[in-house]
Copies of this chain bind each other. A is one copy, B any other.
Amino acid sequence: MSDLLERLRGRGWRLTSQRRVVAQVLDGDHVHLTADEIHARAAERLPEISRATVYNTLGEMVSLGEVMEVSTDGRAKRYDPNAHRPHQHLVCSKCGTVRDVHPTGDLLAELPAAERFGFTVSAAEVTYRGLCPSCG
């Protein structure tokens, strides 16, 4: 059973079948799924679960810091259940696939082959996120 689910329950979440299913789908995830993929997999177990619920549930998991959002440039966001372990992302510019990577040293240098997963890496970028003075 899901670690994730245990952690959420511990935070006073009302446990519904929908939330349970979403957590289970995320839990076994090595690839990083889009909201629609998560919805499709969840619907295999709970046919009438709605898209809105999947979005709500994912959004809540993200704000609780249990799940991480990965935006893949124009495509659908992907959801990474690995929020507790620090890591970076390797994104395919064509299909949007995401892999976790754990680079060391100079982050803008080329990734070591062992971290490249067969990708042809063409760019590395650093983004800082926060609130600007007017939104702060």
Contacts and interface: CB of A to CB of B under 8 A. Distances in A.
Query: Size class of A's contact patch?
Result: 35 or more
A85 to B, nearest CB: 14
Interface stretch (A12-20, A22-30, A42-50, A120-128): A120-128
A108 B126 CA distance: 9
B131 A120 contact: yes
A88 B126 contact: yes
B124 A126 contact: yes
Contact of A74 (B71, B123, B125): B71
A57 interface: no
A88 B129 CA distance: 11
Interface of A: 69, 71, 73-74, 77, 88-95, 97, 99, 101, 103, 107-108, 111, 117-136
